[in-house]
A and B are shown apart, each in its own frame.
Chain A
Amino acid sequence: MPDFITPYLIATLVKTAVLAGALMTTLAYLQWIERKVIAHVQVRMGPSRVGPHGLMQPLADVIKLITKEGVIPADVNVFFYVLAPFLAVFMSLISISVIPFGPPVTVFGYTTNLSLADPNVGILFVLAISSMGVYGVALAGWSSNNKYSLLGGLRSSAQMISYELPMSLAIAAPLLMAGSLSLREIVNSQGGYSFGVLPKWAIFSGPFPQFFSFIIFMISAFAETNRVPFDLPEAENELVAGFHTEYSSMKFASFFMSEYSNMVTICCITTVLFLGGWHPLWPAALGSNFVAPALFALAGALCFLHGLNPARPLDRFTLPVFGLVFFGLAGVFLVPIVVTMFMPVFWFVAKTGFLLFVFIWIRATLPRFRYDQLMSFAWKFLFPVALLNLLLTALMVSLVQ
């Protein structure tokens, strides 16, 4: 074996492969989940044709988008037109590499972090990458040589720049309490429980609970990811489809991919900064380890229940299968080795998943802002409040020390 193949290299490659696979699957199925959730909010069925419960829908979408003709309109700046979706996807995927999903684990005697990288300035890295995300959108808008696209691009750049400020300020407050820029350190600083039960997450405890910061961060996150109610760059009724009007096929899909990937990343960051990362909601001594099996078992039981009274004929077969899968998962999460290794990951994923659900939920609920409202909201309300919150936090932190 050549000497450059170190355990570190192997571990990194494996982690990269696992993470990339998991992330891509998540992105694909996030679309499905979103459609399903919105459908249920609106009392509809949602996708249900391809596969059981429409589970194969993402696959079908991908095949459709790949096989479609990739039209390159006549008067576009070809280089930038092609570059823009790549930039967007690249910038949205790369920041997942610094997210810590769990505490260090030991596999075959080799201890490794459950994250691809752990730079000392992790959160700055995330900010840096997210600030670069503007380019994809702005370039797409400009290179399309279409005034709606250009407007969409300009709008989205302005929006992202504006909301980056309150977001950075909201991030700074929990950083003050953690005293580090490394995401792993930030999560570690939120471990433990006050009074034995209340977790020391930034949102709950510390010298100044970061509740406002959390809210500000979430609002900015909606704007940064161009989600409803801040989805002005792609406001259909005003701008056709915004900056990606002229895009088709896989290039079009990559913008969606980047949007969902941004969502996932930002939910991970929220979990790390405010919700204590992989730390469970209550101590393991009080049985938090049984949450995962209980949840899966509950899901399995529900599947069986619905399988007994099927709404559609096919459900009679599919739902019990899902039920068995869930029961299996519940069983897996009772195995001690899995508990020690993956229970933190479960908690992390659970929190992130909940936040993603909030994103979808809000999309199904709220109307869109007007552009001037959006801007004045960022500059005249969010920014001062974030600043005030930062000042208060700094004051409290310095008083406590």
Chain B
Amino acid sequence: MDLNALVHGVPVSWYLVLSAMLFAIGAAGFVLRRNIITVFMCIELMLNAVNLTFIAFSHELKSVHGHIFTFFVMVVAAAEAAVGLAIILTVFKNRSTLNIDEVSTLKN
């Protein structure tokens, strides 16, 4: 890596790698965490990582389409959070646990 080049700005690939890292961390949380709310937050984290990729490529292509896509992702994420949290409330009420491993049957 030519360090002098860094004076002219940050390479887009750095943003992409950052996004990949965030995504991987989010996925790790999804796989390893047991609290259903934390798992849900890790999903949001992954969505955010993907948004960063959209924005980075939007900058690279000098087009606004990536922003639009991010906008839609945000809106859908907001809707998803509302429904998801309502589901979590219901699950908690029915089973009085937030441990995702205990919520492993589809019966009753």
The answer to whether A and B touch directly, with their CB atoms under 8 angstroms apart, is no
